[in-house]
């Protein structure tokens, strides 16, 4: 698997999310938006833009990490007392080309339901205590 020292997250991710963990393939980042339980998976492969840039083995690992992130997002929602009704999983890349996968917990009563969350204004930064609790939970997962 890739070495974390060979990888750099795009500055857009640095600005809107916080590092949470390194899994076998991906860097896991917590999106800094208290409205949603939201993780971003960044495969630690310099230059990767599309899924086709991953080997078949890496794509299999990525799939497992997406499923793992979905379970974790559900737990983060419960931790925030915001139970997740639906998981949204997407690799868009129209704004930031670096390969990344969003795993977002959605609720029927969230402020953007049923619309997409991407590119929408109104992010609410996480409170420091809530962010610390989430990061601790992610690290232990």
Tens digit of pLDDT for each residue in 5-47? Answer: 678 999 999 999 999 999 999 999 999 999 999 999 999 999 9
Q: Which domains does the chain have, with CATH numbers?
A: 4-140 (3.30.428.10)
* CB hemisphere CA count around 23 (13 angstroms): 25
Under DSSP, the state recorded for 52 is G
Closest C-alpha among 98, 54, 50, 89 to residue 69: 89
- pLDDT of 2 higher than 60: no
Q: Which residues pair with 23 in a beta bridge?
A: none
User: pTM of the predicted model, to two decimals?
Assistant: 0.94
Confidence of residue 102 (pLDDT cuts 50, 70, 90): very high
Q: Which residues pair with 31 in a beta bridge?
A: 17
Distance CA 132, CA 141 (A): 14
């Amino acid at each position: 698997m890739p070495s974390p020292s060979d990888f750099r997250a795009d500055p857009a991710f640095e600005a809107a999310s916080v590092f949470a963990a390194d899994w076998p393939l991906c860097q896991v980042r917590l999106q800094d938006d208290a409205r949603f339980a939201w993780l971003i998976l960044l495969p630690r492969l310099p230059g990767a833009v599309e899924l086709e840039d991953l080997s078949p083995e890496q794509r299999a690992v990525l799939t497992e990490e997406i499923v793992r992130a979905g379970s974790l997002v559900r737990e983060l929602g419960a931790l925030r007392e915001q139970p997740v009704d639906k998981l949204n999983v997407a690799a868009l890349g129209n704004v930031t080309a670096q390969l990344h996968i969003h795993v977002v917990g959605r609720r029927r009563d969230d402020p953007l339901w049923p619309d997409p969350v991407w590119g929408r204004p109104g992010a609410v930064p996480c409170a420091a205590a809530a962010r610390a609790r989430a990061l601790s939970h992610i690290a232990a997962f």
